[in-house]
A and B are shown apart, each in its own frame.
Chain A
Amino acid sequence: MADHAVSGLDARVHVAGRLDATVTAEPGQVVAVIGPNGAGKTTLLRALAGLTGLSGSVTVAGDSWTEPPRLVRDRQVGYVFQDQSLFPHLTALANVAFGPRARGIRRRDADATAQAWLDRLGVGELSGRRPGELSGGQAQRVAIARALATEPALLLLDEPFAGLDVGVATALRIELARHLADYPGVALLVTHDAIDALTLADRVVVLDGGRVAQEGTPQEVAARPRTDHVARLVGLNVLREGDVLRSFSPRAVTVSLHRPEGSARHRWRGVVLSAAPHGDAVRLLVSGEHELLADVTPAAAGELGLAPGREVWLSVKETAVQAYAAT
């Protein structure tokens, strides 16, 4: 703790009724914050930026932001908002130059810095355009450039790929990975997408109901999810039995119309809720005692008539189940 308290992020954030979480990170680390809607992800970012009052403590790069409390403008944050929030009356260049100018840098130098950041984000030739004349992906690049141009000690990204076309999001994700690798401070990335956590983050913090439900490397969290939300995100089935969690892949599930042989512990009866293409398989969501995912071949889906409403039996071999402690 002593180490990152000195140079990274050490935050104990308590927002009455909404959030009670401790988040720490080393400098240069990217922390993905995931969790269902209303888990407190945006509240965490807003509290760190000083936009929402908190009790607790926030220390960034050795400076306390809470003792004494620092104004929003004196916290060195770069905040990429969910809806970009580019100033509609300013050009892309003036949007990015806003931060440096507000911090007292001369106009000419601020503009040069802004142009350099726009160039780095691949939108240098759009510097004269207003936000209304930019596509979603271009606007998000400008927003990221604007946040980075102030050289913040803490970078806060609130769902930077939300609302973008899949292709645009993929291209931007690859580029953001490069910029985050160069970025010396701590970055917090709120996301709904397991891909973001797995490709961009060094560590993952799972929030659930305003508390940290799980923390670890993306690989650990993906392999042994402790919440249904993360299990769904990474496409695993997770069952809780007391203090033990048992997870298995949807591909390991066998679907049949009649009660299968074998241990009662590994078979469940349920009704197909939905069936959708997933890679070269068909992924079923089956609701019974638990909600479970099962992958079947398109041929099997046709033969068994696996449409929503169909009653089925699911089973899984013991050898395909991974068991681990819940805490």
Chain B
Amino acid sequence: MTARRTDTLGRPPLVLLVPAGLAAALLVLPLVSLVLDTPWATFLDRLGSREVGEALRLTAVASGATVVACLVLGTPLAWLLARVDFRGRAVLRAAVTVPLVLPPVVAGVALVTAMGRTGLLGPLLREGGVSLPYTTPAVVIAHTFVSMPFYVLSVEGAMRSAGERYDVVAATLGASRWTMFRRVTLPLAMPGVLAGAVLAWARSLGEFGATITFAGNYPGTTQTMPSLIYTTLQGDPEVARTLSMILLVASVAILAALRNRWLTTP
């Protein structure tokens, strides 16, 4: 690091340098030690074990299904919030944001309360012969619950910033609202859709609290990677480190995919 522009304003003071260094150490040190302590010699063997394979598969299925649920259900919700003026829109938007700040365990309890055997929708589900808790669909529901807000807010923001101007043009050309959505609103919001989908996928990948509360921790049906890491950490920390390394690599890959969007300084 050679002298940069800031040097002409004076040397950075210690009162700022010391806490900045501590903060950086706190963020970087655990990740470095994880990389160093990962048992690389047995890495591939552990990756091949049945337990890990099932957890990986389930995580892939759940996060994939979550992204699909966001695209199919979240996009119309984002459009509704961005384009339709109705009573209670502000309240609905606030409600959609709540899962962002809700502790995941609380989210799990809320899901049990709504869709558990004795929950609000319990009798309805029972009549249809459906039992959700402790099943793979429950995992997907929990993941979608915590991931959808990221997606909806990203897409709604993109739709708002694209503006209603082009919708108006489409209307003068004879377009129905559906045509307008399909051919104008959605294509113009596509960067937000992609960013939202990646965010939702990342959130789903690490989801633990809501899932273990609502869906449990059964190998093969509800045990995702984070649940397996939690389980193995007690008995076999080496396996836990291997699995953690896999998720770390996945997270860094997401960051790399998004770097043009958020990591470039202006």
Residues of A within 8 A of B168 (CB): 51, 72
A65-118: which have CB < 8 Å to B?
Answer: 71-75, 77-79, 81, 85, 87-89, 98-99, 102-103
B114 within 8 A of A: no
By the criterion CB–CB under 8 Å, are A88 and B175 in contact?
no
By the criterion CB–CB under 8 Å, are B175 and A87 in contact?
no
Assess A103 versus B188: contact at CB under 8 Å? Given A81-B169, A98-B183: no
Which of B170, B171, B188 contacts A89, CB < 8 Å? Answer: B188
B139-195: which have CB < 8 Å to A?
Answer: 165-166, 168-176, 179, 183-184, 187-188
Report the minimum CB–CB distance from A72 to chain B (whole Å): 4
Nearest residue, chain B, Cβ from A83: B165
B76-96 contact mask (Cβ, 8 Å, vs A): 1 or 0: 000000000000000000000
Which of A51, A87, A88, A102 contacts B174, CB < 8 Å? Answer: A102
Nearest residue, chain A, Cβ from B188: A89
By the criterion CB–CB under 8 Å, are B188 and A88 in contact?
yes
Nearest residue, chain A, Cβ from B175: A102
Distance in angstroms between the alpha carbons of A265 and B198 in the assembled complex: 78
Nearest residue, chain A, Cβ from B168: A51
Residues of A within 8 A of B174 (CB): 73-74, 99, 102-103, 150
By the criterion CB–CB under 8 Å, are B165 and A85 in contact?
yes
By the criterion CB–CB under 8 Å, are A72 and B187 in contact?
no
Majority DSSP secondary structure for residues of B touching A: helix
By the criterion CB–CB under 8 Å, are A150 and B165 in contact?
no
Residues of A within 8 A of B169 (CB): 79, 81, 85, 87
By the criterion CB–CB under 8 Å, are B188 and A73 in contact?
no
By the criterion CB–CB under 8 Å, are B172 and A87 in contact?
no
By the criterion CB–CB under 8 Å, are A150 and B173 in contact?
yes
Q: How many chain A residues touch the partner (CB < 8 A)? A: 21
A194-236 contact mask (Cβ, 8 Å, vs B): 1 or 0: 0000000000000000000000000000000000000000000
Distance in angstroms between the alpha carbons of A72 and B187 in the assembled complex: 22
Nearest residue, chain A, Cβ from B184: A87
Residues of B within 8 A of A87 (CB): 166, 169-170, 184
Distance in angstroms between the alpha carbons of A89 and B171 in the assembled complex: 17
A146 within 8 A of B: yes
A49 within 8 A of B: yes
Q: How many chain B residues touch the partner (CB < 8 A)? A: 16
Distance in angstroms between the alpha carbons of A146 and B170 in the assembled complex: 11
Which of A73, A78, A79 contacts B175, CB < 8 Å? Answer: A73
By the criterion CB–CB under 8 Å, are A98 and B172 in contact?
no
Residues of B within 8 A of A49 (CB): 172
Report the minimum CB–CB distance from B158 to chain A (whole Å): 13
Nearest residue, chain B, Cβ from A49: B172
A24-83: which have CB < 8 Å to B?
Answer: 49, 51, 71-75, 77-79, 81
Report the minimum CB–CB distance from A188 to chain B (whole Å): 14
Distance in angstroms between the alpha carbons of A77 and B174 in the assembled complex: 9
Nearest residue, chain B, Cβ from A79: B172
Residues of B within 8 A of A102 (CB): 170, 173-176, 179, 183
Assess A72 versus B171: contact at CB under 8 Å? Given A85-B165, A85-B166: yes
Known: A51-B171, A102-B175. 20 other contacts (CB 8 A): A49-B172, A51-B168, A51-B172, A71-B171, A72-B168, A73-B173, A75-B172, A77-B172, A79-B169, A85-B165, A85-B169, A87-B169, A87-B170, A98-B173, A102-B170, A102-B176, A102-B179, A102-B183, A103-B174, A150-B174
Complex A-B: 28 CB contacts under 8 Å: A49-B172, A51-B168, A71-B171, A72-B171, A72-B172, A73-B171, A73-B172, A73-B173, A73-B174, A73-B175, A74-B174, A75-B172, A79-B172, A81-B169, A85-B165, A85-B166, A85-B169, A89-B187, A89-B188, A98-B170, A98-B173, A98-B183, A99-B173, A99-B174, A102-B174, A103-B174, A146-B173, A150-B174
Q: Which residues of B contact A (CB under 8 A)?
A: 165-166, 168-176, 179, 183-184, 187-188
